[in-house]
Amino acid sequence: MEGQKQTHQFKTEVRQILNLIINSLYSNQEIFLRELISNASDAIDKLRFKSQTEPGLLGDDPEFSIKIKPDGITQTLEISDNGIGMTFEEVMENIGTIAKSGTAQFLEMIKQAQSEQSLTPELIGQFGVGFYSAFMVADKITLITRAAGVPKEQSVRWESSGDGSYDIQYADKEKRGTTITLHLKKKEKDELDFTDQWQIRRIIKQHSDFVAYPIRMDVEKEIPIPDQELIKDKDGKPIGETKRRVVEEETINTMTAIWAQPKEEIDDKTYEEFYKHLSHDWNPPLARLHMKLEGTTEYDMLLYIPSKAPFDMFQPERKHGVHLYCKRVFIMDDCKELVPEYLRFVKGVVDAPDLNLNVSREILQQDRLVMNIRNNLVKKVLDLLTDLKPEEYEKFYAEFGPVIKEGIYTDHNKREKIASLARYKTTKSGDKWVSLDEYVKNMQPDQKEIYYITGDDLNALINSPLLEKLKDKSYEVLLMADPVDEWAMQSLHEYGGKPLKSAEKGELEPDKKDDAKREEFKALFGFIKGQLEAKVKEVKASDRLKESVACLSGADYDMSAYMEKILKAAGQKPPEVKRVLELNMDHPVMAKIRALYEKDRQNTALKDYSLLLYDLAVVAEGGKLENPARFSKLVGEMMNQAIGA
Ligand code: ADP
């Protein structure tokens, strides 16, 4: 019985993705099969997990498998699984839409990359295009699926030629699971024949050998005809055929759980294929960690660091990549309990034979064994990163730096270790990245603190007037232009025994006061403060400035200007913190303003100068003027006067 057929348009982003896949990945067509087999294996994983609490779901079909059927006559390739299947709504949601948030931005990025001729499979690989990759080889795909536990009339048939729309209707499917039929495109001269069983066998061996469920195919074979069935002549010699062709179902993959194998027996290629299967990432991993722990608790761990950050790294709903197994049986994917957020890029498998199998997620969090594994995993991953070669680490940091730095304020036990993995540009580093260890090593003999400054623009930071005196003394300053740095610096008060100090807060040189000079400026500063009452909490002599005339700073525990900006951008209303206007007593213009003030306290220009000094400080830090038009007009008038004189 078939239901009414409905036709739906693909969402725009699906159409864009399809175009991208078809146009950019065809040199590596065969991996569509890996993607479909991975999906099938995931669907079985999901059912297996669910059946732990609902054993009835397995019905009379308890043996999991994936079946591949190439057919040269109809030019089709069929991939079937008896996994969890999909309901009508799930098909609508999963196939034909891309539900992942951030897709639009991702596509925008791809578009830009494309115009710069740098669109590579790496980029699209970040996305994990999965199912749609089958349109590289098929001009029509039919998917029939029946969700576990639903009556057969609620099966669903989905079909599309990948050209913008798909048909969907209720259908009948005898057994649970999903069958995907690819109607193969006409093969070009050099292209692979995906109905050739040897080709299929090779592709499965190469990309999917370790899939945990049998991947079966009907294989045509020649077998010897048994002796008693042979036709023989009078001398007992066989006449005619001695072999016959039969079709036999064969399991193609070895299903080896590679994490449980000794390292020496696994080659790089196999490690890489396993990673791709597991992560749905198309790029090879940057590094891996494979270890067996023996002792009071035993477990295997095979972890990977990807080479590229997924495009949705900062989407809260994205999945973590560590799968939990028990004695080689899949328990759950996305095991957040094993991996802290700041290592959410790590992919891999943990297999713990002693795990209590009736775990629920809530219990898992408090499970002693799980906590033990988590601690060890964190330690090993941080060690692995510490030991990467500098050029590899640089690649890692460019992708995941902002993520790992989250650990500085979320993992108090590992704070210093994680801080040692952070890298910064500095006032002296040029294009290089500098670690805190290097910074400390290069400190000036009289320098006691580690200086840093935060903001959103490296260029503005490096030129900030707040750094003039520090630069003059040859003190290096860390330039922190990443929002997470703000949070990190609120937790990291010292490193290697040296206090960290913001260049925009508190006193830089409390003991170097020129009190006589300060006294001379006291009255003028009081006047300026009066003019700027609503804007600043204090006007004072600066110990930061050398060339510039004005800057804004904060007290030691004030929120930084950048933090205020971040919070506002996130739609929050941080408490208004008035800042301190610092003025450079050594700047000639300050002496002139003071002279004018002393001569004629009523002079109206003094008010303008006060406002201008404040505006100059705002402009210097890349801030927004309250009244840019007034600023521009005043400066224009002054230029006129200056040139006239
Ligand atoms: P991904 O696998 O990266 O999520 P896909 O486009 O390959 O992306 O698949 C989208 C979704 O469709 C999957 O997340 C899954 O929910 C569903 N799906 C795909 N193939 C199957 C299958 N064989 N059985 C059940 N669900 C499937």
**Is 593's pLDDT higher than 60?**
yes
Topology of domain 6-220 in CATH is Heat Shock Protein 90 (3.30.565)
Number of H helices, E strands in the chain: 21, 23
Among 25, 49, 86, 94, say which to mutate for ligand 1: greatest number of ligand atoms within 8 Å of CB: 94
Whether 536 and 550 have beta carbons less than 8 Å apart is answered as no
Average pLDDT over residues 494-520: 85
Give residue limits of the domains in the chain.
6-220, 258-391, 405-502, 515-644
Q: Is the pLDDT of residue 196 over 90?
A: yes
Q: 2 by DSSP, 3-state: which?
A: coil
Mutate to test the pocket of ligand 1, among 17, 65, 131 (most ligand atoms within 8 A of CB): 131
Per-residue pLDDT band for 101 (boundaries 50, 70, 90) equals: low
Residue 457 alpha carbon to ligand 1 centre in Å: 40
Rounded percentage of the chain residues whose pLDDT exceeds 90:
59
Question: How many other C-beta atoms are found inside a 10 Å radius of the C-beta of residue 287?
Answer: 19
Nearest atom in ligand 1 to the alpha carbon of residue 39 is 20
Q: How many angstroms separate the CA atoms of 225 and 42, rounded?
A: 41
**Angle value at C-alpha 615, between 613 and 616, nearest 5 degrees:** 65
Structure tokens at 368: 């002693």
- A 10 A CB-CB count for 427 gives 21
User: In this model, does residue 132 exceed pLDDT 70?
Assistant: yes
Look at 12 and 44; give whichever has higher pLDDT: 44
For 295-319, what is each residue's pLDDT tens digit? Answer: 778 899 999 999 988 877 777 666 6
Identify the residue whose C-alpha is closest to ligand 1 atom 1: 130
Query: Which pLDDT band, with edges at 50, 70 and 90, does 607 fall under?
Result: very high
pLDDT at residue 152 in the model? 95
496's tokens:
């290697």
Atom of ligand 1 nearest to the CA of 131: 7
Name the more confident of 112 and 184: 184
Ligand 1 pocket by C-beta < 6 Å: which residues? Answer: 39-40, 43, 81, 83-86, 94-95, 128, 130-132, 178, 280
- For residue 177, give the ligand 1 atom closest to its CA: 24
Record the tokens describing residue 193, joined without a space: 């024949």
Q: At residue 240, does pLDDT exceed 70?
A: yes
Residue 511 has pLDDT above 60, yes or no: no
Q: Who has greater pLDDT, 214 or 320? A: 214
Q: Given pLDDT bands bounded at 50, 70 and 90, which one contains residue 119? A: low
Q: What is the pLDDT of residues 54-97, one digit of tens each?
A: 989 999 999 999 999 999 999 999 999 999 999 999 999 888 66
Q: What is the DSSP string of 274-288?
A: HHHHHH---SPPSEE
* 3-state SS assignment for residue 338: helix
Residue 83 near residue 46 (C-beta atoms within 8 A): yes
- The rounded Å distance from CA 150 to ligand 1 centre is 19
- In 528-542, which positions are buried (b, 16+ CB within 10 angstroms) versus exposed (e)? bbebbeebbeebbbb
Q: What is the pLDDT of residue 11?
A: 78
Distance of CA 78 to the CA centre of its chain: 33
Q: Which residue has the higher pLDDT, 210 or 395?
A: 395
Distance of CA 369 to the CA centre of its chain: 28
Is the pLDDT confidence value at 126 over 70? no
CA of 113 to the centre of ligand 1 (A): 27
Nearest ligand 1 atom, CA 81: 23
340: nearest Cα among 311, 315, 310, 376 = 376
Query: Which residue CA neighbors atom 7 of ligand 1 most closely?
Result: 130
Closest CA to 418 of 451, 393, 385: 385
pLDDT (average), residues 462-474: 93
CA of 308 to the centre of ligand 1 (A): 22
CATH number of 405-502: 3.40.50.11260
Which range (94-103, 141-150, 469-478) has the least confidence?
94-103
pLDDT of residue 317: 66
Distance 311 CA to ligand 1 centre (A): 18
Helix (H, G, I), strand (E, B) or coil at 61: coil
pLDDT given at position 189: 80
- Ligand 1 atom nearest the C-alpha of 85 is 25
Which ligand 1 atom sits closest to the C-alpha of 280?
A: 3
List the one residue out of 618, 586, 555, 591 whose CA is nearest residue 469: 586
- Protein residue closest via CA to atom 20 of ligand 1: 39
* Cα dist from 280 to 21, 51, 80, 619, whole Å: 15, 24, 19, 47
Asked if the model's pLDDT at residue 417 lies above 80, the reply is yes
pLDDT recorded at residue 97 = 66
C-alpha to C-alpha distance for 442 and 435, rounded to whole angstroms: 11
Confidence category of residue 513, pLDDT binned at 50, 70, 90: low
Mean pLDDT of 342-361: 82
pLDDT confidence band for 123 (50 / 70 / 90): low
What is the per-residue pLDDT for 393? 97
**CA-based max dimension of the chain:** 138
- On the question of pLDDT at 634 being above 70, the answer is yes
Q: Any idea which of 12-26, 52-66, 149-163, 320-334 has the lowest mean pLDDT?
A: 12-26
Beta strands in 358-513 (DSSP E): 423-426, 434-435, 450-454, 477-480, 494-495, 498-502
Q: Work out the number of other CB atoms within 10 angstroms of the CB of residue 340.
A: 19
Residue 515 to residue 208: CA distance in whole angstroms: 77
pLDDT score at 242: 86
Counting ligand 1 atoms within 8 A of each CB, the residue from 42, 142, 311 with the most, and so the one to mutate, is 42
Angle among Cα 539, 543, 547 to the nearest 5 degrees reads 95
Residue in this structure with the two tokens 């699971």, named with its chain if needed: 177
Ligand 1 atom 4: residue of nearest CA: 130
According to DSSP, residue 238 is labeled: B
Distance between Cα 39 and ligand 1 center (Å): 5
Cα 34 from Cα 217, distance rounded (Å)? 15
Q: What pLDDT score was predicted for residue 145?
A: 98
- C-alpha to C-alpha distance for 255 and 236, rounded to whole angstroms: 44
Angle, alpha carbons 331-336-342 (nearest 5°): 150
- Per-residue pLDDT reduced to its tens digit, 165-186: 899 999 999 999 999 999 999 9
Beta strand pairing status for 321-326 and 329-332? antiparallel
Question: How remote is the CA of residue 131 from the centroid of ligand 1, in Å?
Answer: 7
* 141: phi then psi, degrees, rounded to nearest 5: -125, 130
Task: Report how far ligand 1's centroid is from the alpha carbon of 38 (Å).
Answer: 9
Question: Best substitution site from 33, 35, 39, 64 to test ligand 1's pocket, by max atoms within 8 Å of Cβ?
Answer: 39
Q: What is the CATH number of domain 515-644?
A: 1.20.120.790
For the chain, the average pLDDT equals: 88
CA of 129 to the centre of ligand 1 (A): 10
Ligand 1 centroid distance, CA of 336 (Å): 21
Distance 315 CA to ligand 1 centre (A): 19
- CA of 130 from ligand 1 middle (Å) equals 7
Q: Which residue has the tokens 């080479």?
A: 307
- Greatest mean pLDDT among 61-65, 337-341, 352-356: 61-65
Phi-psi region of 434 (alpha: psi -120 to 50; beta: other; left: phi over 0): beta
CA–centroid distance, 94 to ligand 1, in Å, is 6
Question: Token pair for residue 162?
Answer: 């990948």
Q: Quote the pLDDT of residue 166.
A: 92
- Return the residue whose CA atom lies nearest to atom 19 of ligand 1: 39
Check residue 624 and give its pLDDT.
Answer: 86
Mean pLDDT (whole number) for 524-540: 95
pLDDT of residue 100: 59
Residue 558 has pLDDT above 80, yes or no: yes
* Helix (H) or strand (E) run with residue 192 in it: none
Rounded distance between C-alpha atoms, residue 626 and residue 104, angstroms: 34
Q: Is 622 exposed, middle or buried (0-12, 13-18, 19+ CB in 10 A)?
A: middle
CA distances to 150, 203, 297, 403, 545 from 455, rounded to whole Å, are 56, 50, 47, 18, 18
Task: Band the pLDDT of 53: cuts 50, 70, 90.
Answer: confident
**Predicted TM-score (pTM) of this structure:** 0.78
Looking at residue 559, its pLDDT comes to 85
Q: Which atom of ligand 1 is nearest to the CA of 180?
A: 23
Atom number, ligand 1, closest to the C-alpha of residue 83: 24
Both structure tokens of 292: 């067996």
Q: In angstroms, what CA-CA distances link 35 with 39, 71, 112, 507?
A: 6, 20, 27, 59
**Reported confidence tier of residue 28, pLDDT bands at 50, 70, 90:** confident
- Report the separation in Å between the CA atom of 135 and the middle of ligand 1, taken as the mean of its atom positions: 15
Indicate which residue's Cα is closest to atom 21 of ligand 1. Answer: 39
Structure tokens at 555: 């007290």
* Domain boundaries 258-391, corresponding CATH code: 3.30.230.80
What span, in angstroms and rounded, lies between the C-alpha atoms of 170 and 420?
58
* d(CA 347, ligand 1 centre) in Å: 19
Is the pLDDT at 25 greater than 70? The verdict is: no
